[in-house]
Amino acid sequence: MNETCIDDISIVLQIDLYKNSCPEAEAIIYSWVENAVSQDSRMAASLLRLHFHDCFGCDGSVLLDDTEDFTGEKTALPNLNSLRGFEVIDAIKSELESVCPQTVSCADILATAARDSVVISGGPSWEVEMGRKDSLGASKEAATNNIPGPNSTVPILIAKFQNVGLSFNDMIALSGAHTLGMARCSTFSSRLQGSNGPDINLDFLQNLQQLCSQTDGNSRLAQLDLVSPATFDNQYYINLLSGEGLLPSDQALVTDDYQTRQLVLSYAEDPLTFFEDFKNSMLKMGSLGVLTGADGQIRGNCRVVN
């Protein structure tokens, strides 16, 4: 999770970077993602999330295993027992290394796999800009401090996104990624306390309480979007308006702030606007803190520095 900024990212990242050096790269990545999602629909959300948690500095650092010299990001609180899909990235990297060695970075694989996961789930497509180098290290501290937690308030969410150069609108659009995937009961336990507020959906909360009160309740999983859990759509925003946001940080977008509520309303009413904004915000996020030249490398194995 590199925290440097590059003033003119357009010089660094470009579309079709591997057109000549590894023309099969995008097809190989898509094929592996498609296969992984067909076997486990939750994998689309997992691969999308890997890119999210790598960004705020898109440098492949989240993929590094711990070594004697440093503790990586996999055990940071936002990632521990939460991130998955590493073996899919390993498989993609392995095939790419056999076809075009030392050409496609792990960070670029993450960015492309995230886009493909959205497309395969019915969401929008976009041209992924390539050219990221992989980091030479990782920072558990940076991952812990920079990635917003599931209990974040709206001011904290806005601040964490703004700290890396993402706007208020980017934050609401990118939150829409929670239209896919699942979360453990331990991440939304504060939602289960219930309240008599106007936005409380009692049926929804009672179902969650029932799920999470079972044995091993904290590790039980709930869908972030109960209506269409494997489809990338705008249902997440519709759910928030009916009090069915799973994470406290999601529901807060409607209950705690008038401005965020207005944008949630607009995305709930117009899926095409959401798709367009999500696509643009993903491109913006994917250019954050990228490494170039001698600042990075192209790893042969995404888990270890060369």
**CA dist., res. 226 & res. 144, Å (int):** 28
Would you say 178 is a known binding-site residue? yes
Would you say 51 is a known binding-site residue? no
Strand-pairing partners, residue 14, are 130
Q: Tokens 């306390």, residue?
A: 193
Residue 223: φ, ψ to 5°: -70, 135
Residue 222: φ, ψ to 5°: -125, 150
Angle, CA 266 vertex, CA 264 and CA 271 arms, to 5°: 100
Would you say 112 is a known binding-site residue? no
Token pair listed for 205: 């909360």
Would you say 61 is a known binding-site residue? yes
Would you say 179 is a known binding-site residue? yes
Would you say 59 is a known binding-site residue? yes
Tally Cβ neighbours within 10 Å of residue 302.
22
Would you say 170 is a known binding-site residue? no
Token pair listed for 251: 């529901």
SS3 7: coil
Strand-pairing partners, residue 184, are 221
Choose, from 49, 53, 115, 261, the residue flagged as catalytic.
53
Assess whether 51 carries a catalytic annotation: no
Would you say 225 is a known binding-site residue? yes
Could you give the residue numbers annotated as active site? 53
Binding residues for heme b: 178
Binding residues: 54, 57, 59, 61, 73, 148, 178-179, 225, 233
Binding residues for Ca(2+): 54, 57, 59, 61, 73, 179, 225, 233
Binding residues for substrate: 148
